Amino acid sequence: MKELNKETALITGGASGIGLSIGKRLAETGMKVVLADIEVPVLEEAVAELKGLGLEVMGVHCDVRDMGSVEEMKNQVEEAFGNPKIVCLNAGVGFGSSISEATISDWEWVIGVNLWGVINGLHTFLPAIKEMGEGHIVMTASIAGHVSVPNLGPYSATKFAVVAIAETLRKELLTENSEIGVSCLCPGFVSTNIFTSERNRPENLLSKSSSDLTDEELLQREAFMEWISSNAKEPSEVAELVHRAILDNRFWIFTDDQHLDGLKSRHSSIVNGDELPWPAPPLIDL
Ligand SMILES: NC(=O)c1ccc[n+]([C@@H]2O[C@H](COP(=O)([O-])OP(=O)(O)OC[C@H]3O[C@@H](n4cnc5c(N)ncnc54)[C@H](O)[C@@H]3O)[C@@H](O)[C@H]2O)c1
């Protein structure tokens, strides 16, 4: 979209981190912005903060795992701001576990938010965007949607799927000569609240692995959080890239060149029929 003007933008997972920064950036351009999120008190704070800056923003409670909740959110958005032309399907939760130790509840939760959230969002908003004949959809995947690393299997599985959905939709819309753009956001590490995602896990999907950290794991976690606070990208930098990609209708949005080597060696192992690149290059140097 060349001009965003007074159109409506919707961002799921908009109360925090990358989603909140995208919402702020788009509202600064003069857009009407809807932040949809499951965490109501944080959402209310975020909306108040942006309104305090004179931006046109509303918050809507929504659980992206639940189609009924997404449809209800769409009705509220339509009534208040009109159908969104920009939809950022960004809500997500982080979860680390080996494949052997992940429980069915773990899988259900991560797939529910990270994958069904995107599917429910597309099913609900794509028809109206197609009817308007103009718009842009951003799907938040991850660098973990391109490379797999131990202990990130369930998360990675959802992000590989989001990459596939985004690529396919892009090609289908190009085939139809559609004016509707698609971008696939693939961040590396970003300094957000993703690392405390368990706060949003529903009670019926709690699992033992979510709370029982050993002392060693707690120390590792502390070192990891220290690394994040001084090395990870700021959400505002990612939001700037997303804003640019929407204006330029650019598909891929990567945030870190350093992760692209892992992607290249994966692709060359596929093309050459080689063993997977192993040992996997560490994502961070602790
Ligand atoms: N932070 C990173 O390093 C990083 C890296 C790659 C990809 N990502 C992706 O970026 C996206 C945004 O995450 P973030 O890093 O800003 O984390 P964050 O925790 O700061 O924001 C995620 C938001 O999603 C919301 N959410 C969680 N479950 C939800 C549900 N069921 N329904 C609606 N909203 C829900 C949370 O309340 C939160 O506001 C996610 O898809 C994540 O996987 C993050």
The band of 1, judged by pLDDT with boundaries at 50, 70 and 90, is: confident
More confident: 275 or 162 = 162
**pLDDT above 90 coverage of the chain, percent:** 83
Ligand 1 atom 24: the closest Cα is on which residue? 13
Mean pLDDT, rounded, of the chain:
94
Q: Is 113 in the pocket of ligand 1 (CB under 6 A)?
A: yes
Q: Is 148 in the pocket of ligand 1 (CB under 6 A)?
A: no
Q: Is 13 in the pocket of ligand 1 (CB under 6 A)?
A: yes
Domain 8-272 of CATH type 1.10.1520.10: no
The band of 11, judged by pLDDT with boundaries at 50, 70 and 90, is: very high
The DSSP result for the chain, as a single string, is ----TT-EEEEETTTSHHHHHHHHHHHHTT-EEEEEES-HHHHHHHHHHHHHTT--EEEEE--TT-HHHHHHHHHHHHHHH-S-SEEEE-------B-TTT--HHHHHHHIIIIIIHHHHHHHHHHHHHHHHT--EEEEE--GGGT---TTBHHHHHHHHHHHHHHHHHHHHHHHTT-S-EEEEEE---BSSSGGGGGGG--GGG--GGGT---HHHHHHHHHHHHHHHHHSBPHHHHHHHHHHHHHHT-SEEES-GGGHHHHHHHHHHHHHTPPPPSSPPPSS--
Domain boundaries, the chain: 8-272
* pLDDT tens track for 218-244: 888 888 888 888 889 999 999 999 999
Q: How far is the CA of 132 from the centre of ligand 1 (A)?
A: 28
Q: Which residues are catalytic?
A: 155
